[in-house]
Structures are given as C-alpha cells and as structure tokens.
Amino acid sequence: MIFSLLLSLMFVGCNASTPAAKGTAKTVADTTAPGQAGLLPLNKIKLPPGFKIEVYADKLSNARSMDLSPSGVLFVGTRDVGNVYAVKDENGDFRTDKTWTIASGLKMPNGVALKDGDLYVAEVHRILKYPAIESNLDKPKKEVFVDNYPDKEHHGWKYIDFGPDGNLYVPVGAPCNICEPDDEIFATITRINMTTRAREIVQRGIRNTVGLAWHPETKELWFTDNGGDWLGEDMPSCELNFAPKDSMNFGFPYCHQGDYPDPKLGKKHSCSDFTPPAEKLGAHVAPLGLEFYSGTMFPEEYRNQLFIAEHGSWNKTKPSGYRIVLVKIEDNMVASHTVFAEGWLDGGAAWGRPVDIEFLPDGSMLVSDDYANVIYRISYSK
C-alpha cells in the first residue's frame, strides 16, 4: 500500500515526524492503521546479493524500538499510539504467531529494554518497570522505576538501553528545535545506576538521539543524533557520534555537524570546543536505531560493523533517508558509509520508514517500521 508524500518547502529539518513549524510544508503523515503484510511491496527493497527481506510481524501499529529476550519474546515500543507490544515466533518459522499488548495509554513509550527478566519502558517523564515480564504477559505488573525526567514532549520520546556496565542509559532530547535549554538535563545522555536509581549526565551537546549502541569488542558508545531544522535543504547533516569516555560535548546548540556554527548561537562558542561527529550521515535523513552486527549468518565483512536505520526526512523537497545504511569502522574511525537496504521511498512517496534494528540468534536482522506497522526480517544465504 503506497502512502503519498507531499513536500514543498526548501528550508527543512532532520526530525523524523515533527509537525511543520514554519511555512507551508506538508509533512509525512504517520499512519496508525495496522499494516497488512500481503499489501507491502517488498519487491521494491534493494539489498546486496544473497540477502532477502520478509515480514516477521505485522498489525503492530506504530512499531518502533525493540528488545529481544533470550527466550525469543520481542518487546516493541511505540511513540504515537501509547502501546507496548510483545510478539513471539512460537513454531520457529520466522513469523510471529502470538501478540500481546502489554501496556496501553502510556505517554510516548518509545524505549524498551530488558534486564534480568524485567522490562523497562521509557515514557516522556519517567521509566516504568514490569517485573518478571515473561511470566506475566497476560497480566503484566507495573511499577515506577524513576519519575524525575522532564515532561516536555518536543523530542521527549526516548530510546533506552543497558550499557556494558549494567546501568540504564536514557537520552533527553532538546525541548526545542535549536535553543539554549533552561535545564542542564536537556540535550544529554543520562545514566541511571540500577542499584541506587541515581541519575547522572554522561554526555552533552546532543540535540536528539534515538539510538545507542556499544561496540561488541571495545564496549565503547556510538549513537545517532538528528540535525537541526530550518537551516537549509542540505544543512546541517545528521550525525553518527563516538563517545569512548564520559563527559564529552558534541556541540548542540552552538555547532552543528562539527563544523557549522549556529547562525544565532554560534558566536558564543567555537566549533573547535566540541567533539565532531564520527560521520556525517547526510542532511535530514533522521538516523534512529543502530546496532553492531555480531552474528554469523551474514558474510564475515559485516562482523562488528554498524547498521543504522534512517527514518527519513519529513518535509524535505527531495526526500532523503528511508533506508538502512552500513557504516564500517576500523580502529574507532569510520572507514566507509554505504547503503545496505533501500526502497521504502518509491518515486518520492514513502510506504515505509525504518526505525530500529535488532538481531535474532540465527544472525538475521529485524527492522521495525512505524509507518507500515510491521517488523521485517532480513536474512542471508549463499
């Protein structure tokens, strides 16, 4: 099913689905009707030789962030509909057989993360905990884990993940397009100590990250960041950032893409004061979820390399993104940045928007799509 993409303004942004704030731009509309696998034009997706794409789960309205349990239950957050789902492939045919809606009516529950059998869900202003979730899928128990995050909805939806240190990492987006926030918690990545529940800021100068990943070998943090709006058709670039240590600053709101001073605020700080991106991903592509590949199904060249889901521009004259890119990393430096999968944008019209990436134990890739309301599985065979 093809959804129309109406676009007209020359000065646009990188946000994934933010309502137009200026001019007469018409945005990509989010659909909340459950996707039907048989109606999706999967033949339009272009992949490298040997790879194929299929639907793993459908009828998941607004499917976004994912986390997979050791037993094979996939938890899926949403942003616009307020639900959290659990799905499972019970017969091993790589198509889910059962779906649970384990929460509804939540405030932008985008982020989901599992630890020791408990599910954590990020709303805008708090983190919820669902103890022993797989034993309680039909009647989940809920408790508030922390409730000290801001309630601003602008960039308020959160991706969460547990780091190699066992603590929970929670980004807090800027409450604006480009501004100097009045609270230091904004435009940061925070860390919650799982024992004390104390919160600290670990990275700053980040406009809006909706994806975190740690390198399988070095255990160092990589994350995406969505560039600013209304600065131009091709400026600024969205970013892939590398944070090998705490207390780094990536420049927002004073410097964009590492080398472009903000027209209004840039005089306050030099771009040289901040850490530049590891890679410029392109203007307005809206990079969200990212994962390093550590499986064995894909060819060896993909081992320990980084896949990024680009949700796509929302009001750009010539749309960009709507694809999955592969970033190859050598010695903590980006060696190459290429397209791995594309075709969700067909003749200027978007029929799908990749959001997050997860890997199954067999090494195949899951990709959520909050526009087509499905989860895809990408596999490889010689």
Residue 374 lies in a domain: yes
Two tokens, residue 274: 């901040």
pTM of the model: 0.92
Q: Which domain holds residue 215?
A: 37-380
Task: Output the pLDDT for position 21.
Answer: 34
Identify which of 15-24, 28-37, 226-235, 267-276 has the greatest average pLDDT: 267-276
CB of 156 closer than 8 Å to CB of 173: yes
**Banded pLDDT at 38 (limits 50, 70, 90):** low
Other CB atoms within a 10 A radius of the CB of residue 212 amount to: 25
Residue 351, pLDDT above cutoff 60 = yes
Residue 9 forms part of a structural domain:
no
Classify residue 16: in a domain, yes or no.
Answer: no
What gap in Å lies between CA 131 and CA 135, rounded to an integer?
A: 9
Query: Is the pLDDT confidence value at 347 over 60?
Result: yes
Pairing mode, strands 237-243 and 248-249? unpaired
Q: How far apart are CA 144 and CA 258, in angstroms?
A: 38
C-alpha to C-alpha distance for 160 and 210, rounded to whole angstroms:
8
The overall average pLDDT reported for the chain is: 92
pLDDT band at 27 (very low <50, low <70, confident <90, very high): very low
Tally of structural domains, the chain = 1
Structural contact between residues 96 and 88, judged by C-beta atoms closer than 8 angstroms: yes
> Residue 346 is part of a domain; what is its CATH number?
2.120.10.30
- The reported pLDDT for the residue numbered 348 is 86
In a domain, 271, yes or no: yes
What's the confidence (pLDDT) of residue 284?
96
CA–CA distance, 288 with 226 (Å, rounded to integer): 8
Q: Is residue 207 part of a domain?
A: yes
Q: 1: pLDDT confidence band, cut at 50, 70 and 90?
A: very low
Of the pLDDT bands very low, low, confident and very high (cuts 50, 70, 90), residue 36 is low
Q: Decide if 328 is inside a domain.
A: yes
User: Is 22 part of a structural domain of the chain?
Assistant: no
Between residues 30 and 324, which one has the greater pLDDT? 324
What's the pLDDT at 39? 82
3-state helix, strand, coil in the chain (%, to 5): 5, 35, 60
Residue with tokens 């990275």: 203
Above 90 in pLDDT, residue 340? yes
Identify the pLDDT of residue 216. Answer: 97
Q: Is residue 108 in a domain?
A: yes
